[in-house]
């Protein structure tokens, strides 16, 4: 499978309502989350400076600045956590179109999906913070290293989440380790897309769809090698 095949297949599925509805819900919840963050920071900054006379005019400015900083740091973790809630719907839609011979997956209970989404978002936040520290401490080189850290974390997280629909956590981790470079390449594309306005809203859920293709491509190759033996 070529590098761009998984994301291109994900984009090609926008004519599938089951897939598109998951995209729209994910984008909608992500947008609402950051509208809430912006409103909260703006109100807090205004309230904090309102009683300081001439400094009151800084309230809206400070609110916007803090909101933008939070959006930069939190966007990918929050969007990834929300997208993880739609993993089952997205993966099922991809499999129906591209892998119709597969049996039904064992979907996790809703409570576990919510917890896994929160856990994935928290891990991505840690990786984002590590990436930010690297970028600040090592200008230029640190930016590249930070991007690589985020690419590794996001790629691994989404791949293992998708794989666990078809296998247990141990097997999913082993499959990741056997195909880490293919997963890292897709993680790099997802992380790069998260830096592009508008496309960043779509990146985590399109990344989930892309990882479904990576998963089945690697599983198929493994099964073919086992059959030949």
Find tokens 């690419």 and name the residue.
Answer: 151
Asked if the model's pLDDT at residue 163 lies above 80, the reply is yes
CB burial readout 2-13, b (16+ within 10 A) else e: eeeebbebbeeb
- Is the separation of the CB atoms in 79 and 4 below 8 Å? no
Find tokens 């809630």 and name the residue.
Answer: 85
Q: Is the model more confident about 136 or about 21?
A: 21
Furthest-apart CA atoms within the chain: distance in Å: 80
CA distances from 36 to 72, 81, 161, 197 (A): 15, 16, 27, 18
pLDDT digits (tens, 9 = 90+) for 68-121: 666 667 777 888 888 888 888 999 999 999 988 877 776 666 566 667 777 777
Average pLDDT rounded to a whole number, residues 181-186:
91
Average pLDDT rounded to a whole number, residues 163-170:
83
- Six-digit token pair at 187? 């993680």
pLDDT band at 220 (very low <50, low <70, confident <90, very high): low
Domain ranges of the chain: 5-228
> Could you count the other beta carbons within 10 Å of the beta carbon of residue 181?
8
Q: Which of 22, 77, 76 is nearest to 209 (CA)?
A: 22
CB burial readout 162-178, b (16+ within 10 A) else e: bbbbbbeeeebbebbee
For the entire predicted model, the pTM comes to 0.79
Q: How far is Cα of residue 183 from the mean position of the Cα atoms in its chain?
A: 13
Q: Helical H runs in 138-195?
A: 141-163, 169-178, 180-193
């Amino acid at each position: 499978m070529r590098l761009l095949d998984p994301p291109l297949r994900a984009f090609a599925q926008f004519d599938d309502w089951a897939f598109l509805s998951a995209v729209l819900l994910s984008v909608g919840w992500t947008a609402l989350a950051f509208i809430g963050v912006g409103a909260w920071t703006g109100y807090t900054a205004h309230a904090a400076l309102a009683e300081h006379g001439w400094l009151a005019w800084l309230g809206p400015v400070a609110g916007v600045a803090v909101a933008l900083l939070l959006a930069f740091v939190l966007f990918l973790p929050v969007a990834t956590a929300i997208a993880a809630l739609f993993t089952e719907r997205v993966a099922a839609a991809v499999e129906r179109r591209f892998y119709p011979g597969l049996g039904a997956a064992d979907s996790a209970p809703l409570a576990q999906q919510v917890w896994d989404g929160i856990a994935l978002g928290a891990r991505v936040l840690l990786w984002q913070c590590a990436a930010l520290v690297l970028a600040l401490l090592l200008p230029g080189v640190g930016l590249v290293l930070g991007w690589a850290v985020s690419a590794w974390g996001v790629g691994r997280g989404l791949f293992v989440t998708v794989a666990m629909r078809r296998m247990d956590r141990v097997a999913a981790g082993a499959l990741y380790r056997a195909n880490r470079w293919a997963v890292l390449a897709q993680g790099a594309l997802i992380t790069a897309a998260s830096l592009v306005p508008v496309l960043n809203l779509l990146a985590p859920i399109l990344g989930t769809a892309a990882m479904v293709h990576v998963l089945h491509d690697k599983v198929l190759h493994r099964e073919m090698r086992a059959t030949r033996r």
